[in-house]
Structure 1
Amino acid sequence: SREGNHPDDYSRLTYKKLLEEVCRCANVLKSKGVQKGDRVAVYMPMILEAVITLLACTRIGAIHSLVFAGFSADNFAERIMDCGARVLVTSDGAWRGEKLLQLKVICDQAMAKCAQKGHNIETCIVVAHLGRVMSPTGTPYNVNKTPMQEGRDIYWHEIIPEASSSCYPEWMEAEDPMFMLYTSGSTGKPKGVVHTTGGYLIYAATTFKYVFDYKPNDVYWCTADIGWITGHTYVVYGPLANAATSVVYEGTPFYPDNDRFWEVVDKYKVSQFYTAPTAIRALMKFGDDLVTRHDLSTLRVLGSVGEPINPEAWMWYYRLVGHEKCSIVDTFWQTETGGHVLTPLPGATPMKPGAASFPFFGVQPVLLDEAGKEIKGEGEGYLVFPRPWPSLMRTLYNDHDRYETTYFTKFPGYYCTGDGAKRDADGYLWVTGRVDDMLNVSGHLMSTAEVESVLTEHPSISEAAVVAKPHPVKGECLYCFVTTNEHGEFDEKLQKELRQLVRERIAPFAMPDVIHNAPGLPKTR
């Protein structure tokens, strides 16, 4: 089921219809010259065409590279050029709450930036989404406002429905790349994480089945955006590989009211619900009656993903949303791991609020100290893995050296997560957070270096240092120290310009909460 941004906007798609649409889209991609191994860039809201596009790529052996539709044109252009995509699939725009996102305009800016650097997108397929949904104001969107470049841009509805609904799948080796997804790197340049066809799919399917205890006739809903690994594994591939019935939601938790999540759970009789601690903490502020006024009795398993969940939020989730009868699965994993690596299993693992608990089948976690010595029993250290599992990333796109350096050189013989963890007396694992130059804002991972380099682009700034500051809702937020040069005046105007710069260059979620004037920054020799 698809639940739109507006409560009156919803639709359903059967597996048979999905297959037909995927084949049509696959045939169109092939007609545009897309072949096995080619990359296809995707910049989409949470609409069914996004799922169809990903599956169409996979069906013909093309490698989809989907970028979260909250990223800036600069970021998107960098990712398009890095993977060398010639075809782009997007939509004219989308509503998020009461906010209009002009996605095609951002894509146009990104394509122009690519062209300046000598990389041309040959085909841009555009879903005309805005004209078919309810706008928050009630006035229909003027579809003619969308800029379309003749010869390059084509509307989805003008080509996809005419294509054949049968498309023979491309046979793939288990180790052939299936898709790539960019994640923030500590040196600032994003990393194109590559997942493979056999290993990724088997692990996505297996973790989905056991971690959510999915049974026939259940209704599953993961609130994650398709732009993140959670959306790839637990909105698209995991549920579909298990023939699950699931909800795909386009809006926010706060529109039209702060009880939208609970309204949707009630509307579709959801049995498994998977969301992020940052959403839970935000919803806790609004009073219990927003939850209790809805019938949530169908819920059986509640999931948490994106960052460690604080015990207070866990208890609220358990008591109020789960009526003290749901299992809570606090799942630890990464873009790089492809699926859950540490998680409780519902009904099988006695729960401890805030603990990622135990490894999934076949996964071996180890804690190491700074010197690389294993910490046995109780203790805290670097979370690493001495053996792979099927969905561990195989490489970074076009940069295998960086893959080895980033993940395998700190502790030779181990995959290093970049996270710290502690083991308690009962053997439970608790993830404590990042131990490298990365921070986690509302479940979005980003690097301090990435933000620092954007801040120093400003003509008034000579140096910048970015650190994480605890935040009651986001978990962490950005605290930025900046040093101005002789022309720079540290005032409200400069702070506003710096926030806007980060917003434009990276994304709105990366905007600093605090910008601190530091006339001199300490250095190490």
Structure 2
Amino acid sequence: MTYDLPNFVLNSKEILRIDEKKRDEFKRLLEFSKNDPNGFWESIASDLVWRKKWDTVMEGRLPEFSFFKGGYLNVAENLIDRHIEAGEANRAALIFESETGRSAVYTYAMLQSIVNKLSNALRSLGVKKGDRVSIFLPNIPETLFSVLACYRVGAVFNTIFSGFSTQALENRLKHFNPMIIITADGTYRRGKLVELKKKVDEIRDSNFEKIIVVKNVGLNLNFTERDLDFYSLIAKFNDKDKGGDVEANEPGIVFYTSGTTGKPKGVVLSGAGFLVNNYVYAKHHLDLSKSDVLWCTADIGWLTMHIWGIIGALANGSTTLFYEGAIDYPSQDRFYEIVQKYKVTKIFTAPTLIRMLMKYGFPEGKYDVSSVRVIGLVGEPLNPEAWHWMNKHFRSAYINNTWGQTETAGTPLAGSAFATGMKPGSSGIEFLGASLDVVDDEGNPVLERPGNLVIKKPFPMMIRDLWNEHERFLKEYYGKLEGLYFTYDVAVKDKDGHFWVLGRNDDVINVSGHRLSTMEMESLVASVNGIAECAVVGIPDEIRGLTPVVFVSLKNDISATGIEETISKMIEEGIGKFAAPSDVIVVEEMPKTPSGKILRRFLREIYVYGDIVGDRTGLENPASIEKLKSVLRNRIESRNK
């Protein structure tokens, strides 16, 4: 088989925006983490407050391992109390803004008071360490209160995306089987009401003991005996609570991630490992400190928000910003309005959001975005065009593209802000304490050609198990290559140690013996004038094995006339005639997750089968599916005439 190294890797040049002091400090820290991993993790964990120090820093190897064994801490104490005791009680911990215009600010002292009242309320309902709580809320203050109260009690919790259907919600809740659900009457997204409590009530044969309801939009609800009003409940309790001790390897979060087929997986994460690892990663990925305002644009139903918007921000004493609703509503400029209003210094988002901003065009001279110092990205491959667009318009910002999964619970590939060079499109280097590689199908390392991205050694935050599915855990992640965690992503490692993640295994197309990256093709398509967003998928072909099909949405007022020929020519000139797409489809909007990732599997299945055949959960805009099916039906009918 021919392995084709994408041109954007071959032609990449390192761009420096370096602080020499930070560079030297990070270089020493990185070497420390590689040469003495036990000493490194011990030094990082020692920054935090422990109720009892650990017996051993690290034991075991993949897939069975432990960190800080025998050590006990409370996550909420480290996110709130530690800063108050350091004299930061009156500094802003949380800024809240909604698409409806509602806003609020909570100091660390205010956060502590509400969280403690809620944790005492949960205990009164019988919740103790290890018991299960599910949080079905949008990005509102009460969501942060609920997460922190679970940490305070030591409850095992999950958060579920508020846009899920009743069926998707039911699948997760019945598998997790929580004692308590915390939800809201509803929320607004793009001006449309989404009723949340109604979805919980529609779940069949549920046995939840209590449902705590936040009156977020003011709906009239008929409460039953198991329903409790959030603020009426916590008003009964005092705000003194230090919380319980949790052993460092006990489950803290069970986060559900959708599989390509079959039921969603409950990824089990250690609360302490999640805290220690993301505390130091956020500090260096984003150059994060207590003077920063961090806006993570993800929904609380995605682990990204927990990594950056909760643990990363609060462990480092920063101010976190929660935004409820659509980032481009009620106006296309909403993103810039928020950045300017709150002088946001650090942003963590997805490449698709950047491409959405590119679609609308930068409002030159209208908003001041000079406060932004770092932009971090994760979720899908970042095309170089989007990187250069950010570099042009956010002139003072370091751009840090990263790689991670729900299962890694953070981003072990990344740069360190102002301490490492940037390569447009690269996911960065092996980060502090992380050991990854690119290997062939037999597990042999490969350099400067595509292969399988694997993790060689454990780090504290990564997956410990699948909830109630241990055999599935072993088979899915460790059944491919012995002793290696298999990510199912294809990547290239270059001579400088940068990793270029090209996409999932099925996002790399074998066309006539050439293994091509959809990321490279998408980068070429994105450079065509008038293209707002694009996605390339591989479709079965009797002769070529797979053939590329391109989906595009266009910028405002751009005609689709001639676009197919232009795109085909661009790919042929950029890669070769063998890579020419067999079809180019213009769509109004792409199917996406709430975090902005284009659901390429949905595009592939609708094109091949006429509908989605696998798991449908995670879709933020259901209307896009029917529109896409209509476009394809019309194309077929037109061709048959």
Q: TM-score scaled by structure 2? A: 0.67
Matches within 5 A, 1:454-469: none
SS at match of 1:53: helix
Contact 1:104 1:147 in 2 (8 A): no
Q: Paired residue for 2:251? A: 177
Q: Paired residue for 1:124? A: 211
Q: Paired residue for 1:300? A: 373
Contact 2:250 2:270 in 1 (8 A): yes
Q: Paired residue for 1:335? A: 406
Contact 2:294 2:309 in 1 (8 A): no
Letter in 2 for 1:348: A
Distance (whole Å) between structure 2 residues aligned to residue 331 and residue 437 of structure 1: 18
1:223 aligns with 2:297: yes
Q: In the TM superposition, what is the alpha-carbon distance from 1:215 to its structure 2 partner?
A: 2.5
* CA gap 1:507/1:6 in 2 versus in 1, 3 angstroms: closer
Matches within 5 A, 1:75-474: 75-110=168-203, 113=204, 115=205, 119-131=206-218, 143-144=219-220, 146-148=221-223, 150-289=224-363, 292-320=365-393, 322-323=394-395, 325-375=396-446, 377-435=447-505, 470-471=551-552
**What RMSD in Å do the two structures reach over aligned CA positions?**
2.6
Q: In the TM superposition, what is the alpha-carbon distance from 1:216 to its structure 2 partner?
A: 3.0
1:34 aligns with 2:127: yes
Distance (whole Å) between structure 1 residues aligned to residue 356 and residue 487 of structure 2: 28
Distance (whole Å) between structure 2 residues aligned to residue 310 and residue 201 of structure 1: 31
* CA gap 1:43/1:381 in 2 versus in 1, 3 angstroms: same
Q: Paired residue for 1:22? A: 115
Distance (whole Å) between structure 1 residues aligned to residue 552 and residue 131 of structure 2: 41
Q: In the TM superposition, what is the alpha-carbon distance from 1:76 to its structure 2 partner?
A: 1.0
1:56 aligns with 2:146: no
Distance (whole Å) between structure 1 residues aligned to residue 492 and residue 507 of structure 2: 20
Q: In the TM superposition, what is the alpha-carbon distance from 1:471 to its structure 2 partner?
A: 4.8
* CA gap 1:343/1:15 in 2 versus in 1, 3 angstroms: same
Letter in 2 for 1:378: E
Distance (whole Å) between structure 1 residues aligned to residue 111 and residue 390 of structure 2: 34
Distance (whole Å) between structure 2 residues aligned to residue 369 and residue 470 of structure 1: 30
Map Cα deviations across residues 103-124 of structure 1 (whole Å, 9 max, x no partner).
11111112xx2x1xxx411200
Q: In the TM superposition, what is the alpha-carbon distance from 1:313 to its structure 2 partner?
A: 1.1
Contact 1:46 1:226 in 2 (8 A): yes
SS at match of 1:165: coil
Distance (whole Å) between structure 1 residues aligned to residue 599 and residue 146 of structure 2: 34
Contact 2:135 2:182 in 1 (8 A): yes
Letter in 1 for 2:215: A
Name structure 2 gaps, 5 residues minimum. Answer: 1-93, 509-517, 520-536, 538-547, 554-589, 591-596, 634-641
Map Cα deviations across residues 181-223 of structure 1 (whole Å, 9 max, x no partner).
1001244211100111221110111111111101232211111
Letter in 2 for 1:335: T
* CA gap 1:126/1:7 in 2 versus in 1, 3 angstroms: closer
Name structure 1 gaps, 5 residues minimum. Answer: 132-142, 441-447, 449-466, 485-494, 518-525
Distance (whole Å) between structure 2 residues aligned to residue 503 and residue 370 of structure 1: 27
Letter in 2 for 1:331: T
Letter in 2 for 1:107: V
Q: In the TM superposition, what is the alpha-carbon distance from 1:239 to its structure 2 partner?
A: 0.9
Distance (whole Å) between structure 2 residues aligned to residue 482 and residue 15 of structure 1: 51
Contact 1:359 1:365 in 2 (8 A): yes
* CA gap 1:508/1:251 in 2 versus in 1, 3 angstroms: closer
Map Cα deviations across residues 47-80 of structure 1 (whole Å, 9 max, x no partner).
0110111111111111112111111111111111
Q: In the TM superposition, what is the alpha-carbon distance from 1:317 to its structure 2 partner?
A: 1.3
Distance (whole Å) between structure 1 residues aligned to residue 151 and residue 507 of structure 2: 34
Task: Give the share of equivalent positions with the same residue, in percent.
Answer: 37
* Equivalent residue pairs, number: 456
Rg bigger for which structure? 2
Deviates more, 1:347-356 or 1:421-430: 421-430
Q: In the TM superposition, what is the alpha-carbon distance from 1:5 to its structure 2 partner?
A: 2.2
SS at match of 2:246: coil
* CA gap 1:47/1:383 in 2 versus in 1, 3 angstroms: same
Map Cα deviations across residues 294-319 of structure 1 (whole Å, 9 max, x no partner).
01111111111211111111111111
Distance (whole Å) between structure 1 residues aligned to residue 498 and residue 254 of structure 2: 32
Letter in 2 for 1:319: K
Map Cα deviations across residues 363-390 of structure 1 (whole Å, 9 max, x no partner).
1111111222221x32210000110111
Contact 1:192 1:397 in 2 (8 A): yes
Distance (whole Å) between structure 1 residues aligned to residue 140 and residue 614 of structure 2: 27
Q: In the TM superposition, what is the alpha-carbon distance from 1:231 to its structure 2 partner?
A: 0.9
Q: In the TM superposition, what is the alpha-carbon distance from 1:504 to its structure 2 partner?
A: 8.4
Q: In the TM superposition, what is the alpha-carbon distance from 1:502 to its structure 2 partner?
A: 9.2
Q: In the TM superposition, what is the alpha-carbon distance from 1:503 to its structure 2 partner?
A: 11
Distance (whole Å) between structure 1 residues aligned to residue 456 and residue 608 of structure 2: 43
Distance (whole Å) between structure 2 residues aligned to residue 44 and residue 62 of structure 1: 17
SS at match of 1:345: coil
SS at match of 1:163: coil
Contact 1:94 1:101 in 2 (8 A): yes
